[in-house]
Amino acid sequence: MTLRTVEDTLREAVLELAPGPGEARFSGVAADTLPAAERHPTRHAVAIFRGECPVGFLALDEADPICAYTRPRPSVALRAFFVDARHQEQGIATRAIRRLVPFVLAHHPRAEAIVLTVNVANPVAAGLYRRAGFLDTGRIHVGGPTGPQHVLVRPLADG
């Protein structure tokens, strides 16, 4: 399992990725989230690979409004994370989240934490993030389009 910055040569394959039924409301689909990341000056589009096959997508953003939850520590926000429906239930999401810390340290060296919001109606995703070392801050973010979201933070100092 590896994480790679989405480059032009990967773009078409990544655009075909989409989460399972009912999950797109939480993460979006690459056909929407990849172009949005490409247009955004602080967003970093990342593909999840198993071997040479892209199997998922995420975006990292150093200036996302949810980074305010970690101030004064600089952070990077994890957005639009999903594993393609054809590759789910194989442990890919867990392994990708664990690979995220070294990836962020390499590509966002000023960051001291990763921050994300996860919808209160998505306990499966919340459990995945907690098992991967994300801590629930006890705060609720209400600015999301799909309802209230838990704010989770993963400090980077402990790798």
What is d(CA 4, CA 154) in angstroms, rounded to the nearest whole number?
Answer: 20
* pLDDT, position 23: 85
CB 148 within 8 A of CB 140: yes
**pLDDT confidence band for 158 (50 / 70 / 90):** low
Please give the average per-residue pLDDT across 25-53, as a whole number.
91
Give the CA diameter of the chain.
41
pLDDT tens digit sequence for 85-123:
889 888 898 999 999 999 999 999 999 999 999 999 888
CB 84 within 8 A of CB 120: no
pLDDT tens digit sequence for 6-17:
988 989 999 998
* pLDDT, position 78: 96
Question: What kind and span of H or E run contains 16?
Answer: none
Look at 121 and 150; give whichever has higher pLDDT.
150
What is d(CA 151, CA 134) in angstroms, rounded to the nearest whole number?
Answer: 10
Classify strands 53-61 and 135-141 as parallel, antiparallel or unpaired: unpaired
Domains of the chain, start order: 2-155 (3.40.630.30)
In the predicted structure, residue 159 carries a pLDDT above the cut 80? no
What is d(CA 78, CA 73) in angstroms, rounded to the nearest whole number?
Answer: 16
In the predicted structure, residue 84 carries a pLDDT above the cut 80? yes
Q: What is the pTM of this model?
A: 0.91
In DSSP terms, 56 is beta-bridged to: 48, 83
